[in-house]
Structure formats: structure tokens, C-alpha cells
Structure 1
Amino acid sequence: MDLPSISAVIPSAMPPGGARAVLDASVDAVRRGVPATLALVLETSGSTYVRAGAMALFDGDGTQVGWLSGGCLEPEIARRAQDAARGRRLDFMEIDTRFDEDLLSGSAVGCRGRLRLALLPLAALGDWPARIAAWRDGAALHVCVHRDGALDIATRDDTTTHRLAVLDPAWTDAPSRWTLDVPPAPSVIVFGAGPETPFLLPMLRALGATTTLVERRPRWSAAGALADHAPDLTPTQALLAATRRHDVALVMHHNFELDREALHALASAPIGFVGLLGPVRRRDDLFRVLPPPSRDALLPRLHSPVGLHLGGSGPEAIALSIAAQLQRHLHGVPA
């Protein structure tokens, strides 16, 4: 009997989130010739929504991508960002809401903290799209902001220095420079689609990950639209064809033989986190049919069953449990 198509229940792909969303939007603005400013957090103290290295994009069309607060600080940042873009100059901005006067005057925004920002006019950074292309390929992005208007941007061993007009910081204890690193977006490769896929892949994308779905079964082919890459390859071919190293691999075919094939391929792949969907007994059955060298190579990095125990059941709960475990792993939070 022919199996029904699942294309009708696959939602459209969500836009990416995190640093990936901001940097993707920054390149798009530069290519469209829209005056855009990258607001980069240099320092924080007290209670703040974000930490140093956070960023948001403000462009001349009134578009904002990324958040530096719960929405209360952005209008003033947008105004200053527009001025920086028009003048093609580096600007510094401090927002301080730590004091009781804000509470008494009724102007408190809810957080008692201080943000110090650099506002970078992207039109003055000619190689910006090339830098972000390297970042997408797995290189860390290094940004050094100098108080005197110099701006060093590096990916891998390549550094460019820009010299911009600058407005000096309004605060008196500013250092001569700030150095910030933006790690590459995490890369997750998923072997096998299933009922969890329409929830898991958009969730990972919204968290800023780059996703690859390896799925050759026609029944699940529509799920490829939810991933950044959907190669029609075997697991071994997909791993060899990767242009950058994956941070996470998930094996979730709901098919014993296809899972065995994927695990066998992953045994020799340098991926630090391998998640296997299904109960412990299924993992043990798969290990019985894998060669001993493959078992030994997988065991120290295999998470089975993958996902945190959050309660609930069904594909939505399973997808949430996997995304939560990956969020914890990718941010270095101890189990």
C-alpha cells in the first residue's frame, strides 16, 4: 500500500535566530545598499538582557533584527544607529538604568543594568559580506573596536583594519579597545526525518543553528525544506561532502537498518555529540550488529536516548527535549 505524503503537514521554514539572524540580515542590507548599523555590546554590568558580544541590526528601512533588551531600549538605540549610518562613523553609546532615580521618576525599564555599545556603520566596511561568508563556513569572527575609530575584523588568519570617523565614548573609563569573538553558528546534521522533524528543525533554526537533513525516503522528502541543506546522499557521502565540521549529529530514522547505517558512518566522523532517538534497548540492539571498533568509537560521545527528561509525550515533546539538550550542550552548561 502506498504511504500518504506528509507534505501537507510540513510547515514552512522559520527564519533563523541568534547571531546567525543578525549577521545574515547585515549582509542582506549591505547588498541592497540600505544604510545599516550593527549595534555591538562591548560591556555590561548589573542586570541586563544580554551580555558582551550580543548584537542587533538597525537599518534605514526601519527594520530591526536581534534584541538587546526586552524592547524598552531599542527605540533610542535605533535613533543613534541611524545617525551613525548616515555619518558613516563609529559611535559609542551607554545606557545606564542602575539607579533609584529611574524608579522614582517612573522611567525605569525593569532592568537595573548598564550597556555600553559600539555602533558600526556597515556601509563603511567594504569586506563585510566576505567576512560573514567565512563565518558561515565555520570560522570564528573576531572584532576589535578601538576607541580612536580603528576597527579590526578577522576570520581565520585574515585581518582587515578599517579607520572610521568616531565620536569618543561619553564615559570616562573607556579602555583603548575592546575585543569580541563571535563563534560560528553551530552545525547540526540529522540522519532521518520523522514525526519530530517539523518541530525540531525549525526550533534549531530559531536558536541559530545551521541544519542538514540526510533523508532519501520519498515519504519524508518534503522535510528537506525545513533544513538549510538536504543532500540526497548516503550517510557516508553526506559526511564526506560537508564543507565544515558538524558539531552535533542526530540519528532518528525510526528504522533499524537506516539507523545502523548512519551510526556506522558516524563512528569515524569527528563529531563530539551523537544523539540516538529511541530507548536504551534499541541502542543495545544496534550495538550488537555494529563492528566492535564502531561501538568503541561511538560510545564515549553517544547520547542515547537523546533528549532531556522534561515530561510529556508525542513528537512535539520529543523535539523540545532534544532541542533543550542541544542548547545546553552547545553552550557548555554541565549536565
Structure 2
Amino acid sequence: MKKIGFLSFGHWTPSQHSQTRSASDVLLQSIDLAVEAERLGLDGAYFRVHHFARQLASPFPLLAAVGARTKNIEIGTAVIDMRYENPHYMAEDAGSADLIAGSRLQLGISRGSPEQVVDGWRHFGHTPRPGEDDAGMARRHTEMLLQLLTGDGFAQPNPRPMFANPPGLLRLEPHSGGLRDRIWWGASSNATAIWAAKLGMNLQSSTLKDDETGEPFHIQQAAQIRAFRAAWKEAGHTRVPRVSVSRSIFALVTDLDYAYFGRGSNEGDKIGFLDGKTRAVFGRSYAAEPDLLIEELRKDEAIAEADTLLLTIPNQLGVAYNAHVLETILTTVAPALGWRS
């Protein structure tokens, strides 16, 4: 059994061919799709965060709105770029959204992806310390966030406060207990997956990773997951960690499915370079009739290793079509692969 969620990049474009032509469209449809996904029996509604782009950016208003409209589905991100984040303000926003959602938040965070602008985090007031690069700054922000989410007091109270304080040092409020265990790190390399395990974060592995061995993407990703779990065990954490992988999967059952994705599923992995320097392997998409799709997915070693599968969706095709895509996977593919009973 696997948890299955959707992952939306939240694109919009003022095109007659898009169902999301504005920021308002994509925000409101994201809420509606989460409601529909819960009705269908999906386990998670996850959203990507990109700055300076026609995509979802500030995640917490959306997460809170989804939390208020749903009851059971997990609500998350994959991922928030920590180069841009003030950990203190983020801890308050995350605590608020998690309390609204009834402790259903699953926050995926990371160093982030290549940007739309040069050093965009500088516009948000963040600068690496001497000897630190932007990735190091993201990890420093992350470690501070994790500390804040423990709920330990750290701030000296004013001896003449406006309102009475509880005894001792003060923490940020509102605090949501348990959120610290629901933080995930989006790792592109084996080393960062191991780092995340040592800090007690869950693992999110996307549709790309650093090409570290030249092997097929799913094999490298499965090895990354095993390295993460070994590091988790070595660190002595007592709870069981969670691991998600993302995939583009489309079961072709209608004429519209064939029109959108019927070019076939024979595409292999692709090789590219992140920021013009890091060699990365990009995993293939899957699009085929259900029977063929099932056989292809059986061979994906990383999906087999993970406990959570995030289905990337073409959000610009609208709520109704994406609900169809998700329902088709749940009913025609997931049971045959043992993801659903």
C-alpha cells in the first residue's frame, strides 16, 4: 500500500488554450482540485513553489485555504526554496496553516531549483555569509527552522510586557506540535539525502537527480532512498521515516487522453545540466494503456522503494480533466500494482 497524492506546479498563462489564465484561476482551482482529490480517495495535495514566475509562489495562504476546505487529505509542498525563507516568519506561517488543517501539513523544503532571475533570494533580503554559498545558506535556514519547530523557548521576555507571559523563555506562536516530524527535504544528490536523514527529515525525491553513476534514473533514485534509510537508522531516530517520489503517469483510456499524451511512453531518461554545471538525469514520463502502463511501472525500482507517490499533473488542463487523470490511476493502475486494495 502506498500513499498517492498529486503534485501541481501551478502554472498559469493568458492563453486561450489554458484553463488557468491568471493567478486567481490557479489558486482557486488548486483548492477545488484538492477537494475533488479528497473525494476520490487520494492521500495528498502537494504544490510546487517558484518565485518570479507565473506559478504558485507564497504557499501558506493556499495551504491554509485547502486545509479549511478539506478534512482528511494531506496538504503539502514539493518544494519550498529555503534560500528565500525567513525561518522565524515561516515557522509562524507553517504553524498557523497546520493548525487550520488539523495537523495535516507535510512541508517539503529544499535548496531550490534553477531560478527565473539572477540571485532572486537577494531581493528577499537574504545574503550568504562569508565563505557560504546559496546552498549553504538554504541549509542554514533549514536548520534554524527545524530548531524553531521544536517549540523550545529561546527569546528573553520583556519584564514589562503588554500581555502576561508564561514563565521562562518564549517561543514563536502559534506552535503546532508534531509539525517538526512532517518536514521533508527535496534531495537531488545522495549526499543531501544522507544529510536530511541525519537531521530527521523525511525524503522527497523528484523526477530528476544528480547523475552520480550513469545508471538509469529509477535505479539511481532507488539507491538514494536506500542510502537515506541507512543514514536514518545510523542516526538512531526512533520513528519510521517517509519517502516520496514524483512521477508523470497517464493512463490512456479516452480520446482526450490520446490527444494529450498518446505519443507513447517509449521516451527514456534524459540528461541535462542544472545551472549549466551539474549533470542531472531526468526520469521518463509514463503514458500508455492501463495494462501496458502496469507492466512498465512494475520495473520502476524507486517507486517500489517509496511509501508515497506524487503524481505530477497538467494543471492548466483544468480541474475536471485532472480529476479524471487521478481517478483513472487510482482505479485502473494502483490496485494491480498493490498500491491500493
Q: Settle same-fold status: TM greater than 0.5.
A: no
The structure with the larger Rg is: 1
